[in-house]
Structure 1
């Protein structure tokens, strides 16, 4: 019987997972090096979508201290698609652990990061501690990384397209192009990145919202004030990552919230964490 690989990936989300990485991983805190290792692992706690680093405790250049009672970190649930298992939204804080273990403070000579380390009670992770990505500054080899570590099983491909792509909302055309860049990302809908000259920016307002993606960079957003569904409906990435050079300066719209037509065919709105609550069945 054939196996659909995306089902295998989604099926592992309830489990504690890990994967060694060959990259040199460095973390600093308050200007002090916490770890510099070639022996890091990527770890996904049960229900976590994105990985974080686990490093050998013997290679830590900081002190681990027993912390006080762990704060109650809210658990934010999310489904990647209709029918997929409920997972932890990446915005769920590090302090919400879904496997047994001990939470610890990390102290350097000048700075302490409360609760920034976790020692899982799992024999396969013996000798390793997991570090909170948000508490430190990180480099893979000599390059800064943001958001979270890159998942080696998560891929982004960008391809040029001459198809006619049209975006509208409440009957108003917001963009139309034959020069889109199509971004294919594991377990996510195709995103259509459109040259700004083909977008009705005169109908839109730039938003203060900013987000980061470890694969594409920092995004800034635009809203279409003519619709209730138009808030933060489009975005564009900065130029920090060469991997995403094909979409630098281009805008994409949430397929989940707009009417998207490709070569005259209206596309179904996918159900994802970025869908409207009513479209997610909430």
Structure 2
């Protein structure tokens, strides 16, 4: 999502291209100053606190925050003998993270042989997201992964007609759907429940989490598994789609103004694990 994930401009599946006389390298990495205070908590202890964080965007990955070593509690880092090699950034030294009675192996890393063009990352530590208790920007916990400043969501009213069918059965018809434009994704169409035959929606167990929209519920329609989704209580920033339903164009027939929609290449999302100790109530509270 955003700059380097999904179909963003630095991802392998980018839908656009740079207008340059010479071809760009196959992989482009982008580093930027976050310009927000970030804190990291482990075992109930603040182990990092910095307003000088560098965010690294790599193709196919969520952004990763790198904190100056001087802003990290040195007592929390235990050097490991493990060294790996990053194809672009060289040798990577790994650390266990320790606080109180708890130690987690390979929970932080540092690049130790950076090429000159990557000097921005010199002397900086990154923490494995799921190994920490929590990451904060200012006083608010950031869930799922580091926020991508290049990622945005725009929701628009439309008077286009959306119809959803499974075989000969009309599932939904709306002349006033909402369309959600999200960085790196094709437009997604949301339908008010009043415009849906809700007897056709069968809730399934399990939810997924979106850093930008909240918890997502899924529905089967007939034999079509996970054919519809709904953020029944979306985050405030995406509140306009709360409890509306979106349908999967590769599972059921979705037509916009009479033209059938199809799943676009690169639109399948790679699942991302949630934070350590993250539960449904906390996500809803957020």
- 8 Å Cα contact 1:256-1:272 kept in structure 2: no
- Offset at residue 258 of structure 1 (A): 2.7
Mapping for residues 195-274 of structure 1, pairs under 5 Å: 195-224=192-221, 226-227=222-223, 230-239=224-233, 241-274=235-268
**What is aligned with 2:79?**
66
- 8 Å Cα contact 2:109-2:126 kept in structure 1: yes
TM-score, normalization by structure 1: 0.77
Q: 1:7 aligns with which of 4, 17, 40?
A: 17
- 8 Å Cα contact 2:96-2:105 kept in structure 1: yes
CA gap of 1:116–1:39, structure 2 versus 1, over 3 A, is: same
Inter-partner Cα distance in structure 2 for 1:34 and 1:12: 37
The answer on 1:52 being equivalent to 2:71 is no
- 8 Å Cα contact 2:209-2:215 kept in structure 1: yes
- 8 Å Cα contact 2:108-2:128 kept in structure 1: yes
Q: Runs of 5+ in structure 1 lacking a partner?
A: 71-94, 276-282
- 8 Å Cα contact 1:256-1:270 kept in structure 2: no
CA gap of 1:221–1:55, structure 2 versus 1, over 3 A, is: same
Deviation per CA, 1:152-208: give whole Å up to 9, x if none: 222211111222111223343222112311100122110011112222221222112
- Offset at residue 273 of structure 1 (A): 4.3
The answer on 1:174 being equivalent to 2:165 is no
TM-score, normalization by structure 2: 0.76
- 8 Å Cα contact 2:208-2:215 kept in structure 1: yes
Inter-partner Cα distance in structure 2 for 1:240 and 1:232: 19
Deviating above 6 A after TM superposition, structure 1's stretches of 4 or more consecutive aligned residues are none
- 8 Å Cα contact 2:63-2:148 kept in structure 1: yes
Inter-partner Cα distance in structure 1 for 2:199 and 2:110: 52
Inter-partner Cα distance in structure 2 for 1:218 and 1:163: 27
**What is aligned with 1:114?**
105
Q: 2:135 aligns with which of 127, 134, 138?
A: 138
Mapping for residues 154-173 of structure 1, pairs under 5 Å: 154-173=151-170
Q: 1:104 aligns with which of 95, 106, 113?
A: 95
Aligned residue pairs, count: 244
Q: 2:38 aligns with which of 9, 14, 25?
A: 25
Superposed CA RMSD: 2.8
- 8 Å Cα contact 2:80-2:93 kept in structure 1: no
CA gap of 1:13–1:107, structure 2 versus 1, over 3 A, is: farther
Q: Runs of 5+ in structure 2 lacking a partner?
A: 1-8, 270-286
Inter-partner Cα distance in structure 1 for 2:26 and 2:42: 30
- 8 Å Cα contact 1:194-1:252 kept in structure 2: yes
- Offset at residue 20 of structure 1 (A): 0.8
- 8 Å Cα contact 2:82-2:94 kept in structure 1: no
**What is aligned with 2:147?**
150
- 8 Å Cα contact 1:223-1:233 kept in structure 2: yes
